[in-house]
């Protein structure tokens, strides 16, 4: 068998000749030949803010500064307590071996120490992509791939993951303390109660007098049956 390898139109072509004169062709892109990884490599960005009223501009500016287009930037607006986030899951499904993911800081990836470690391993080892944490140059898997570089990166990742979870726990503690202090001052949380309709008392008497069914009473007051019943019980206890 004779093998001929040559380049045409930016791709490498392999031609196999058998003894019988037959041949087979297949094509592969240049990166595949050089690195053993297939396809063109893409760069992605991931953004996370904890709530819908938080501003993601700082993260967005940083990713745009790296030339990441909007259609390859994935953003979730929810807590970093776990990785059950729709856009993050979509990102993980989309990236392929050799791609590069940018995040501004490790706490934007998450705030759960154990799960940050697991997702980092999933992305870098199972998916085979590189990650660059913009505010921590030591967390750039393209650099320092020798034993010492890997050791330092792993150590930094563990420290920052610990800090991220510690900050989340501190935030939750401060929130709980603030709520407790507000309640002690008489501050009420939640939506204010909806006032009873003007005909509620008359309808309630008719319902208790078996002149109306529960459904009829609820419809007369413009509320679901369960709501009418709950308000009726509460009214009777207070009476």
Contacts of residue 215, defined as CB under 8 A and 6 or more positions apart, other chains included, come to 225
Is-catalytic flag, 18? Answer: no
Query: Which residue ranges of the chain lie beneath pLDDT 50?
Result: 1-7, 9-38
Both tokens assigned to 41: 């490599």
Superfamily of domain 43-168: Resolvase, N-terminal catalytic domain (3.40.50.1390)
| Per-residue model confidence (pLDDT) at position 1 | 43
232 vs 165: CA distance, rounded Å: 46
The domain segmentation of the chain, as residue ranges, is 2-35, 43-168, 200-238
pTM confidence score: 0.56
Contacts of residue 214, defined as CB under 8 A and 6 or more positions apart, other chains included, come to 207, 225, 228, 229
| Per-residue model confidence (pLDDT) at position 239 | 62
Q: Residue 39 carries which DSSP code?
A: S
| Per-residue model confidence (pLDDT) at position 148 | 66
From the list 29, 50, 79, 105, the catalytic residue is 50
73 vs 46: CA distance, rounded Å: 6
């Amino acid at each position: 068998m004779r093998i001929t390898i040559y380049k045409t139109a930016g791709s490498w072509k392999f031609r196999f000749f058998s003894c019988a004169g037959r041949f087979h062709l297949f094509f592969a892109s240049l990166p595949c030949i050089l690195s053993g990884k297939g396809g063109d490599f893409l760069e992605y960005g991931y953004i996370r803010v904890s709530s819908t009223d938080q501003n993601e501009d700082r993260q967005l500016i940083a990713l745009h500064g790296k030339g990441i287009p909007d259609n390859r930037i994935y953003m979730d607006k929810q807590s970093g307590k776990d990785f059950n986030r729709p856009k993050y899951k979509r990102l993980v499904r989309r990236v392929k071996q050799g791609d590069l993911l940018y995040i501004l800081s490790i706490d934007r990836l998450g705030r759960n120490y154990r799960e940050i470690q697991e997702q980092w391993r999933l992305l870098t080892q199972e998916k085979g992509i590189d990650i660059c944490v913009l505010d921590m140059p030591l967390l750039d898997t393209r650099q320092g791939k020798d034993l010492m570089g890997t050791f330092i990166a792993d150590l930094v990742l563990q420290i920052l993951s610990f800090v991220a979870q510690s900050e989340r726990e501190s935030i939750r503690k401060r929130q709980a303390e603030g709520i407790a202090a507000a309640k002690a001052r008489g501050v009420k949380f939640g939506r204010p109660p909806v006032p009873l309709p003007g005909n509620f008392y008359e309808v309630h008497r008719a319902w208790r007098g078996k002149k109306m069914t529960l459904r009829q009473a609820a419809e007369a007051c413009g509320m679901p049956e369960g709501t009418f019943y709950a308000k009726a019980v509460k009214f009777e206890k207070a009476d």
